[in-house]
Each structure stands twice: as C-alpha cells, then as structure tokens.
C-alpha cells in the first residue's frame, strides 16, 4: 500500500538547527518541537489516524524555491519527518526494522514544499 502527505512549507536545514542550539539549547529543542508540530498537523489532516504495521520505504520529494541550500542540508530535515511519524504513531519506530530505506529527490518550483510517500514493504 502507498500513502502520501504533503508539508506545505520549507523545512529547516541542519545548519538552521545547529544555529539554534548554539545560541541556546532550550531554543533548539523548542525549534524542533515547533517544526514537528507543524508536520503533525499535516499528518492529522491528510492521513486521518493512519497506523502502518509493516516496514516502509520513504520517498521524499523536496521541492525547493532555489538552489541556495546544499543537498545534505535539505535532506537533513528527514529527521523531523521520521520523528513526527513515530510521534503520531503512523509508524511504530524509525529504526531500520520499520523504515528500511529513504529515497530523496529534489525539484524546483516557485514555492517550497515536501511530498512524503510511505510505501509498505513485505517483512
């Protein structure tokens, strides 16, 4: 089975997070919680209480408004997505047992957003 949801914003990079925690470790924690809260609302609205029991592959399409960020900084936001999927109980855990692969693709458009596809795989 395939499931998809979209995050209608640009997710912060690892550099953004490091800047916050270097400034104040509590601000860094709040920063991460705020991002995950935004993602959680998208999951609630689009996946309607979905619970996946099988392992998944994540296909993530990062739609960026420009080419200013390094690829690794764009991809680093997968941490927010996986942690929120676990928090919302869409997947049981983000270990290799439950998330067997993450595939990334970057595209460009006027407005940034992230499209996340979860593909169930057989055990």
Residue 49 backbone zone (phi > 0: left; psi -120 to 50: alpha; other: beta): left
Number of domains in the chain: 1
User: Are 58 and 117 in contact, with CB atoms under 8 Å apart?
Assistant: yes
pLDDT score of 99: 98
Angle 68-21-105 from CA coordinates, rounded to 5° = 35
Percent of the chain with pLDDT over 70: 99
Q: What is the pLDDT of residues 16-60, one digit of tens each?
A: 999 999 988 799 899 999 999 999 999 999 999 999 999 999 999
What is the crossing angle of helices 14-23 and 25-47, to 10°?
140
pLDDT score of 24: 86
pLDDT score of 123: 67
Q: Which domain holds residue 17?
A: 2-120
Pick the closest to residue 79 from 45, 26, 31, 41 (CA basis): 31
Pick the closest to residue 88 from 34, 53, 37, 30 (CA basis): 37
Gap between the Cα atoms of 107 and 113, Å rounded: 10
pLDDT score of 17: 92
CATH number at residue 106: 3.30.1330.70
Instruction: Share the mean pLDDT of the chain.
Output: 96
**Average pLDDT, integer, range 101-123:** 96
pLDDT score of 25: 78
């Amino acid at each position: 089975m395939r499931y998809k949801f979209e995050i209608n914003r640009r997710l912060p990079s690892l550099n953004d997070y490091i800047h916050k925690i270097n400034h104040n470790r509590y601000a860094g924690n709040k920063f991460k919680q705020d991002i995950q809260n935004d993602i959680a609302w998208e999951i609630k609205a689009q996946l309607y209480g979905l619970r996946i029991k099988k392992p998944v592959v994540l296909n993530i399409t990062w739609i960026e408004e420009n080419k200013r960020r390094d690829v690794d900084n764009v991809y680093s936001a997968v941490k927010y997505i996986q942690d929120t999927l676990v928090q919302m109980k869409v997947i049981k855990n983000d270990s290799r047992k439950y998330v067997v692969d993450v595939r990334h693709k970057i595209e460009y458009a006027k407005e940034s957003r992230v499209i996340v596809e979860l593909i169930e795989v057989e055990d």
